[in-house]
Amino acid sequence: MQKLPIKSTKIISQRENQRIAKEDLVVTEEPLEIIIGYGPENERTQTSLAITMRTPGHDFDLVVGFLFSEGIITQVTDISSIRHCENVKSPEEYGNVVKIEIKPEVNFSKNHLSRNFFINSSCGVCGKTSIESINMEQSYFKNNDSQFQISSEIILKLSENLFAQQTIFSNTGGLHAAGLFDTTGSLLMVKEDIGRHNALDKLVGWQLMQKNYPTEKILFLSGRVGFELVQKAIVSQFPIIAAVGAPSSLAVDLAHEFNITLVGFVKNNGFNIYAGKERITEN
């Protein structure tokens, strides 16, 4: 049984002084459990790594992107298999459990399990065990040395181009999106999810599993930009992050530290540059 990203529900619609009973579409939100298999070939271990509330669809992209963003894998070849579990405890769990096996030579530390991996669909950083652990994890991040530039005109068009491809959002109004654009402003891929972190993980996972994708690229987000979204972008080497909403103070600090261009409040008539202004020309 394939999970659907939208569901129909009965509502009462009130407009002015009139109420009408009708059907409406809402975005689906269901838990996804990630089970990871790791260890030497003759001594494999399986454990539940995380549970995230997500919109069904592109679950493998989500899982791969999550493991990559967390530094558990560094490339797609670290994975030996990924599948939905069919042997589940209840019908409700069918399609909601993904098992991913990483290769025996991949060093999966139990320290990864020290984080409370219950991921709220709207907040990722709250799962960290401490602020200190966040700072320690930055040791495997790399400064982005991309030197390419894009015009302000391209930034102004990103929002319209993204929303035109948000098919589920247009029916429900209840999803975040993460879009990947090239330097001409052409949309390469968009991923949607009720959680903005999940939407980005889906995009990161999709990109990781592509054999060819541009190194000069623009990440566009449909909402606000928090610290952890910038973390994920750094790991995936996105040089430019643009967003409809505002960034947080920590997001701005992190962008400066790792040479990321960060743009917020993108509309069709303007935007704010918070970091990395050198990559964006005035015309």
Category of 58 on φ-ψ map: left (φ > 0), alpha (ψ -120 to 50) or beta: left
How far apart are alpha carbons 180 and 192 in whole angstroms?
12
Measured in residues, the chain has a length of 283
Rounded to the nearest 5°, which phi and psi values hold at 94?
Answer: -65, 125
Amino acid at 115: R
Pairing mode, if any, of strands 280-281 and 150-151? parallel
What contacts 106, CB < 8 A, 6 or more positions away? 38, 73, 78
Buried b (16+ CB within 10 A) or exposed e, 180-211: bbeeebebbbbbbbbbbbbbbbbbbbbbbeee
Choose the catalytic residue: 11, 123, 136, 164: 123
| Active site annotation includes 123 | yes
Residue with tokens 């894009």: 150
Active site residues: 123
